[in-house]
Amino acid sequence: MSKLRIGSLFSGVGALDLAVEEVFDAETVWQVEFDQSAATVLDKRFGVPNYRDVTTVDWAEVPPVDILCGGFPCQDVSAAGRKAGIADGTRSGLWAYFAEAIDVLRPQYVIIENVRGLLSAKAHRTGDLGYLDADVVLRAGGAVVGDLADIGYDARWTTLAAGAVGAPHKRERVFILAHPAGAGLEGPQPLQGWRLGSPRCCRSAAHTRPGSGGDDLVTTVCKAIRGGLDWGKYQPAIDRWEGLTRPAPHPVEPNTKGEPRLSARFAEWMMGWPEGWVTDLINPEPRRKVEGTVSRSAALKMVGNGVVPQQAAAALRLLKDSLDNERKGSK
């Protein structure tokens, strides 16, 4: 039996694609990613066609797929971002192209990943809804589910923190599973994950902030190179993630001046990615352009924008099991 085919939008480095492949026993057949560094990683790790610019793809011309997945840009719906919401001209407004792809391709499943802010951020819509003459403001998550309904898809969703699957950081995300209408709209309640403290990455946060544990990540890793590493209250979280993934790389490395800096390999490990998924492609000669490589700064940016595959897989199993059980009950 042939595997289900995946088309991936806003693919990043393909971490969500890995989770979808695992849960649905599927294979990725094409991707859409504009960023050149991320595209370099995708070419090395997947080697499938990349249509690059989501705004110019003719969806009628791409190979059909059974699953369409992606995490459209979160900058305008994230609590840490611009908070402009989903609107024309915003990065998060690129959701409209995702919806267009769904409408044309009509996949069996649609999988959407985004930050938890999707549930509270705004979505601006002009008065083209038939019963409204003025601009309206909706919740972004409601607008996404409403758009799916308009094109004939039911949806169920959940929120899940990376810490709920053992990662040593919270990183709460929303996952939506949509399918052609007929199996119901009601989704499961969000899972209650473990509340894990995790080192912060900014010195400015208050020492007493919940989960801070005192030292931020920068201070903690600097201590590692100046007198030995002591994770303190975070040791159980580090141990747990090591048990679920692989031994943690050393969290710091020297920069060109011998001063400590965050290790890209450690950041990659925190995300649960396969060893070297991105870091093996870091240019060893940063002053000289080497084809097929990425810069360290680009690698860290991709980590920051990425998906924890184990987290995504757990959420998708929950949603898929819910849908499968509902379908069995309706027979």
Same domain? 49 vs 132: yes
| 8 Å CB contact between 78 and 174 | no
Instruction: Check whether 130 has a pLDDT greater than 80.
Output: no
pLDDT band at 86 (very low <50, low <70, confident <90, very high): very low
Same domain? 181 vs 243: no
**Nearest residue to 327 via CA among 190, 103, 154:** 154
Same domain? 121 vs 229: no
Instruction: Check whether 242 has a pLDDT greater than 60.
Output: yes
| 8 Å CB contact between 72 and 123 | no
Same domain? 243 vs 314: no
Full-model pTM: 0.82
Same domain? 311 vs 298: no
The stretch 10-17 carries a mean pLDDT of 96
Same domain? 268 vs 131: no
Query: Residue 229: which domain range?
Result: 217-304
Residues annotated as part of the active site = 74
Same domain? 162 vs 280: no
Find the range with the poorest average confidence among 215-219, 236-240, 284-288. 215-219
Same domain? 89 vs 167: yes
Total domain count, the chain: 2
Domain membership of residue 246 (yes or no) is: yes
DSSP-assigned letters across all residues of 13-53:
TSHHHHHHHHHHTEEEEEEE---HHHHHHHHHHT---B---
Residue 57 CA to residue 9 CA, distance in Å, equals 11
User: Which residues, including other chains, have CB under 8 Å from residue 279's CB and lie 6 or more apart?
Assistant: 264, 265, 268, 299
The CATH number of whichever domain residue 95 belongs to comes to: 3.40.50.150
Mean of the per-residue pLDDT values for the chain? Answer: 79
Same domain? 28 vs 49: yes
Residue 157 CA to residue 148 CA, distance in Å, equals 13
Same domain? 160 vs 256: no
**Higher pLDDT residue, 145 or 103?**
103
**Higher pLDDT residue, 329 or 77?**
329
Tens of pLDDT, residues 73-84? 755 444 444 554
Same domain? 93 vs 124: yes
Same domain? 61 vs 179: yes
